[in-house]
Each structure stands twice: as C-alpha cells, then as structure tokens.
Amino acid sequence: MGITRIHIKRNSDTFELRRCQIFTEILNLYIQTATPVGSRTIARRLRNSLSPATIRNIMADLEEMGYIEHPYTSAGRVPTDQGYRYYVNVLMQESHLTKDEEETIRTVYERHWTELEEIIGRASRLLSEVSNQAALVLFSGVSRDIFKRIALILLDSSSNRLLVVFVSASGLIRNYKVELPEPIEDIQLERLNRLLNQELEGLPLSQIEYHLKRRMMMEQGSLYYNLFKQALAMIKATILTSKEERLWLEGTSRVLEQPEFREVARTRELLHLLEEKEPLLELLRQDLEQDQRCRIYIGSEMENKAMKWYSLVTCSYKIGNRVIGTVGILGPTRMEYSRLVALVDRMAGLLGKVISQMGEL
C-alpha cells in the first residue's frame, strides 16, 4: 500500500515490548472512546498482568518520548500526532475488509456506469457510509492524458449529427454526440478523421488546442485552413469540454458528529475548510505526482492550522499506468488508520477499473 512499516523485532527487550503494548492499548482505547486513558483502565484491559504503578512508569516514558500527552491536569493520556505517526510507521498491521464491507464496495464495480459524475458520486457516498467519515474523490481531468485516436461517425442521413469516439493513450474511451451547424459530406468527414489522427497522435491533451491554432496560422490561405478550423471546432466541442479538475465530497455531517467537534469553534473551522477546499485539494494533488500509492497525513503534519484536528488517508487511482485522481477519507486524528487505509485502497483500485471500462464519461 506504499506505507512504510518497521516491525518490532522478536528479540526486543521485555520493556520495549511492554512499552509498545501500553501505547497500543492507549491508542485503541482512545479511538474507541474519545476520552483520555488512565493507568487503571489499562491495567483492567491487561487483566492486571502489569501493576498500575508499572503502567504509570511506562506512560511517563511514552509522554517523555512525545507519543502521548495530558489533555488537561489530572486526566489520563491521549496520543499525540507524533504518537499516531509512530503507530502508522512502526506498529500498524495490514487490515482486511469484512465480508459486508467488501460486498458494499464492490457494488461500485458490478453496475454498468455511463456517466463520470454518477460513478464518482456513488463511490464517494459509499466510502463515507462504510467509513463513517467524510469521503473525497478527486478527478484530475483528462488533460493529463495523451491523444491516441479519434473516430467521427455520422448518426443519421441528415449528415449533421456525429458520434465522436475518443481514445486516450491510457485506454480511456469517451463518446460525444455533436450537432454540426451544417451537413458534412462523407469525403470531408474522412479528411477530417484522417487529419485529426495524423496531427494529434501522441500529443498531451493539454497541448492540442495550441497545436491546432498554430497549424491554422501556418495554413492561412491554403486549402487546409478550413479543415484545421473544423478540426479545432470539433476538438473544442468534445475533448476540451472536460473540466480540468473536479472534487466530490460526501459525509461532512459524519465528521461533525464526532466528539472532538462538539465545540462551536472547531465546527466552524471544519465547515470553512470544506467550503474553501483549496487546502484539501493541495494535499490530494500531491498524490497525483507521487509514486507512493497510499499516504496518511496526520494533524499538524499538514502545516495548516485548520487541519490540525484531522487526518487524511488517500490512495491514487489510475487508468492504465496513468494516475488520474485520488480517493480519500477525512476524519479526526483519532481514526482507525489500518481499516481506513484498506477501505481507501480497495475503492481506489475498483474506481480505476470502472472508469477504464466505461464507454462514456
């Protein structure tokens, strides 16, 4: 999944193993209850195999190491961002989806989808429901892809309604229906087909409009000028209608229901963050350029004050070998990291497959 883990060696000394055990208990209890964890609670969890005094000593060591802290005087301890990072990098074990979770997620894959908005909207809603957190899906737009071929097909005898079938280098297929301002003859349509495929094959989609405009300038006064003009109009009416970037967000209320966000100030911060979107988009965009498939961002690591109470688990998804978007779960730092990584990773894999197989976006 792209997340580094350094497992504890079996020959580690007893104290180190106990320290890991106590820290894991604190983290698991805090995830479940959202309340600070005391030494007596841990002693009961361990069936008194360690005395409260021994546990307090170990907790003092963990606090000195920066893994746990007192939220206020005379309270138990809670994990810090550094502690969560220690858990993710060192102690976290791979998790597997339950049968029910797997069946729910797979409903995205088993239906025949025809609209990009429909499939991504469904995926984000399902991910929010299963995780009980906010779910995000970023689609980066096809401009990151490369032109492979295009086919222009007449739909009726009037000769002015076309089906445009576009295939990218990554295997993405897009269908468009276009109504021309006037009928087109078969021979002209054949020339337009040939011109588009010869001129544009291998070009990044982001460069297509510039290339065709430059060719129009070069062909001014020649027989090819009008052909390039038609080609540019066709491309602008089809491939270039796609938005560069779209973000789907579901389940904001699920985050607000968490105990951490009962304070009005935190609720206001979260709503502002989700409305502004840019801080989240910046993080999701990073995944588009990384080799690492899944990433975990924890609280203060995100260098944004509004994000200090949250963690974000993300996985990129692909068409062929090209990353085209990111799937993510946003929730409190007190989240089940292992389970949520498994959920996001599975959804990202299925989403890439579904979009690859869609005949029309």
Compute CA distances 75 → 38, 78, 80, whole Å.
7, 9, 15
- Residue pLDDT, tens place only, 45-69: 888 788 888 898 999 999 999 999 9
* Cross-strand partners of 37: 77
Task: Give the strand order in the sheet containing 173-179.
Answer: 147-154, 161-168, 173-179
Fold of 143-241: Enolase-like; domain 1 (3.30.390)
Q: What's the confidence (pLDDT) of residue 171? A: 65
Cβ(29)–Cβ(41) below 8 Å: yes
Q: What's the confidence (pLDDT) of residue 7? A: 43
Q: How far apart are CA 253 and CA 344, in angstroms?
A: 19
Q: How open is the CA angle 220-223-224, to the nearest 5 degrees? A: 70
Q: What's the confidence (pLDDT) of residue 141? A: 63
Ranges of residues in the chain whose predicted pLDDT is under 50: 1-12, 359-361
- Tell me the CATH architecture of domain 99-141+244-357: 2-Layer Sandwich (3.30)
- 14-91 maps to CATH 1.10.1270.20: no
Q: How open is the CA angle 228-229-235, to the nearest 5 degrees? A: 85
Name the nearest CA neighbour of 312 among 291, 294, 290.
294
What sections of the chain are H helices per DSSP? Answer: 14-33, 39-45, 52-64, 81-86, 99-110, 116-131, 186-200, 208-218, 225-237, 252-256, 264-276, 278-288, 337-357
Q: Where are the domains of the chain?
A: 14-91, 99-141+244-357, 143-241
**SS3 of 330-352:** EEECCCCHHHHHHHHHHHHHHHH
Q: How far apart are CA 279 and CA 310, in angstroms?
A: 12
Using a 10 angstrom Cβ sphere, with 0-12 exposed, 13-18 middle and 19 or more buried, the burial of residue 167 is middle
Name the nearest CA neighbour of 1 among 91, 109, 95, 86.
95
Q: What's the confidence (pLDDT) of residue 292? A: 65
